[in-house]
Amino acid sequence: MPLEAPLRPVAERAAELNARYRGHGAVSVLEHALGDPEVGRVALVSSFGAESVVLLHLISIMDRTTPVLFIDTEMLFEETMHYQRDLADRLRLTDLRVIRPDRGAIFAEDPDALLHRRDPDACCALRKTRPLARALEGFDAWITGRKRYQGATRASLDLFESEDGRRIKINPLAHWSRDDLRAYMDNNALPRHPLAARGYPSIGCRPCTTRVRPGEDPRAGRWRGQAKQECGIHFVNGQARRDAPPRGESR
């Protein structure tokens, strides 16, 4: 068999994809991501959180064999774990991979399960960032559920990003609003995360997630009272993305 041609540099492909798909909808972007050899081997990374069902449903329609990576930090809400199992079964996802932190690293770095109090960044790295990095080895791209409306660090998201030149990060829902998400869930009769109706629009680990009050930023309940907005899996060169919007476009 002939050898596959190597993929072009990540930044070059991401820029070209953004130019080609600027103005296209989520379905078009996702279909392209799943089928274009220029994108390469793709996985969906899902938290099975308050809005995750939209992308998971789209994937189940387009190609339910797509690898779905779920990070069980071992500090999640029980409601999230039940929702993950029920939703994966309902959507008939055939390649769900549950990713957990390394046991030896847990014993060495967080034996009392209180690292989140002492150093929340180190806890996220131990339980989420490093396990995901290992799980993504072998993939050329991954799909995220990030949206621009979710806060300042995400206000200028592109549909396609270069992740430190290693792989492409795909954000099909970047331009969707909360109303778009609700309408899609309603129109497709999709089950909600049980905590969403109880004031949790953004759901992470149990110790570091609180309810959000009316009028607050949707992610205000994550690491409340701390100078922390992201867990680290969406950092580029150690920093959360805060790129300026393309010339001629507004936020």
Per-residue pLDDT at 233: 52
Per-residue pLDDT at 231: 55
**Count of C-beta atoms within a 10 Å radius of residue 165:** 12
3-state secondary structure of 68: strand
Q: Is residue 114 part of a domain?
A: yes
Active-site residue, 205 included: no
Angle 78-91/53-63 helices, nearest 10 degrees? 20
Question: Which of 3-12, 13-22, 68-77, 170-179 has the largest mean confidence?
Answer: 68-77
Residue 232: pLDDT over 80: no
The pLDDT tens digits for 52-80 are: 999 999 999 999 999 999 999 999 999 99
The pLDDT tens digits for 160-187 are: 999 888 999 999 999 898 899 999 999 9
Q: Is residue 2 part of a domain?
A: no
Instruction: State the CATH number of the domain containing residue 104.
Output: 3.40.50.620
Q: Is residue 244 part of a domain?
A: no
**Count of C-beta atoms within a 10 Å radius of residue 44:** 26
**CB 123, CB 110: distance < 8 Å:** yes
Domain total of the chain:
1
Q: What is the dihedral of CA 27, 31, 34, 39, to 10 degrees?
A: -100
> How would you classify the pairing of strands 239-240 and 96-99?
unpaired
The whole-angstrom separation of Cα 124 and Cα 101 is: 10
The pLDDT tens digits for 80-120 are: 999 999 999 999 999 999 999 999 999 999 999 999 999 99
Per-residue pLDDT at 6: 73
Per-residue pLDDT at 237: 41
Mean pLDDT computed over 17-32: 90
Q: Band of the pLDDT at 249, cuts 50, 70, 90?
A: very low
Q: Is residue 159 part of a domain?
A: yes
Two structure tokens written together for 8 = 């072009």
Q: What are the helix (H) ranges across the chain?
A: 10-21, 26-35, 53-63, 78-91, 103-109, 115-118, 120-124, 130-135, 178-187
Q: What secondary structure letter does DSSP report for 205?
A: B
The values of phi and psi at residue 87, to 5°, are: -70, -40
* Residue 169 burial (C-beta neighbours within 10 Å; 0-12, 13-18, 19+): buried
**CB 193, CB 209: distance < 8 Å:** no
Catalytic residue of the set 123, 124, 205, 231: 231
Q: What secondary structure letter does DSSP report for 153?
A: G
Largest CA distance in the chain: 59
| Cα Rg, the chain, nearest whole Å | 18
The whole-angstrom separation of Cα 7 and Cα 10 is: 8
Residue 123: pLDDT over 60: yes
The whole-angstrom separation of Cα 86 and Cα 194 is: 12
Q: Is residue 243 part of a domain?
A: no
Q: Is residue 4 part of a domain?
A: no
Q: Is residue 246 part of a domain?
A: no
The whole-angstrom separation of Cα 189 and Cα 213 is: 26
The pLDDT tens digits for 172-227 are: 999 898 899 999 999 999 999 999 989 888 899 999 999 988 888 777 878 776 76
Q: Is residue 216 part of a domain?
A: yes
The pLDDT tens digits for 129-164 are: 999 999 999 999 999 998 887 665 555 688 999 988
Q: What residue numbers bound the domain in which 198 lies?
A: 10-238
Mean pLDDT computed over 4-31: 87
